[in-house]
């Protein structure tokens, strides 16, 4: 019978991502056949795997959804947080977000119960495009737009160059290939501006389109195939 590492076995059930499974294992919250699991342990389908005493052996259908997240919702599965993403979506399957979108930002967020694709996207986070529309608090200068397109010193590093397009006096579109913490907000603040609204409209090949605020939809088979193809290409680039 096929053996899997314990973190992948947990992830494959849709219970959580591999990263979250690692955290459960490190805290001693996972048991296999009554024994506390250790990192790297290999298991089979015949093993009794439990998290906090609850057996996890059901593999639900895989879910991939695109959500138009409103402002005020936090990208956390911690249901003790008042406005967490799980309670907001209320999906029948146990799903978790792929990456994050700030509480004060809105727009496209992908959620799934497929731990493998989460890991692939997180590994390739500096090799795929994310597109945003941003409104700032005052009219933009050409120097500001040039600066946002260049390498900006934030968080003790330099950002990658970005694609920037002016939409009106206070609004621009920006495409990032990086995922630094609150990156756009920190970049605009470096040049003396503040973000008024920030909306993500694309992640790789997945577009927000006309999806209503607060609504979600399933990814189409073509979207999912293209996404996996792009992730495979990103992995080859990383390995090369």
Residues with a known catalytic role: 102
The DSSP 8-state label assigned to residue 60 in this structure reads: P
Whether the CB-CB separation of 111 and 97 falls below 8 Å is answered with yes
Question: How many Cβ atoms sit within 10 Å of the Cβ of residue 79?
Answer: 10
CA 205 to chain centre: 14
The DSSP 8-state label assigned to residue 90 in this structure reads: -
The sign of the CA dihedral 150, 152, 158, 164 is negative
Of the candidates 215, 180, 32, the residue with the CA atom closest to the CA atom of residue 106: 215
């Amino acid at each position: 019978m096929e053996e899997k590492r314990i973190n992948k076995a947990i992830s494959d059930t849709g219970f959580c991502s591999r990263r979250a499974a690692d955290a459960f294992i490190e805290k001693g919250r996972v048991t296999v056949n009554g024994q506390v699991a250790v990192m790297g342990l290999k298991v089979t389908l015949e093993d009794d795997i439990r998290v906090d005493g609850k057996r996890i052996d059901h593999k639900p259908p895989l879910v991939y959804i695109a959500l138009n997240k409103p402002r005020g919702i936090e990208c956390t599965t911690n249901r003790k947080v008042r406005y967490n993403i799980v309670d907001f979506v209320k999906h029948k399957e146990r799903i978790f977000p792929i990456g994050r979108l700030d509480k004060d930002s809105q727009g496209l967020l992908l959620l799934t119960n497929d731990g493998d694709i989460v890991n692939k996207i997180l590994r390739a986070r500096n090799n795929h495009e994310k597109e945003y529309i941003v409104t700032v608090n005052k009219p933009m200068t050409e120097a500001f737009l040039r600066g946002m397109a260049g390498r900006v010193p934030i968080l003790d590093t330099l950002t990658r160059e970005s694609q920037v397009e002016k939409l009106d006096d206070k609004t621009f579109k920006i495409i990032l290939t990086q995922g630094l913490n609150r990156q756009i907000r920190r970049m605009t603040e470096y040049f003396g501006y503040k973000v008024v609204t920030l909306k993500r409209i694309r992640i790789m090949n997945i577009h927000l389109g006309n999806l209503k605020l607060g609504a979600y939809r399933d990814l189409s088979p073509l979207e999912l195939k293209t996404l996996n193809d792009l992730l495979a290409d990103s992995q080859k680039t990383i390995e090369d």
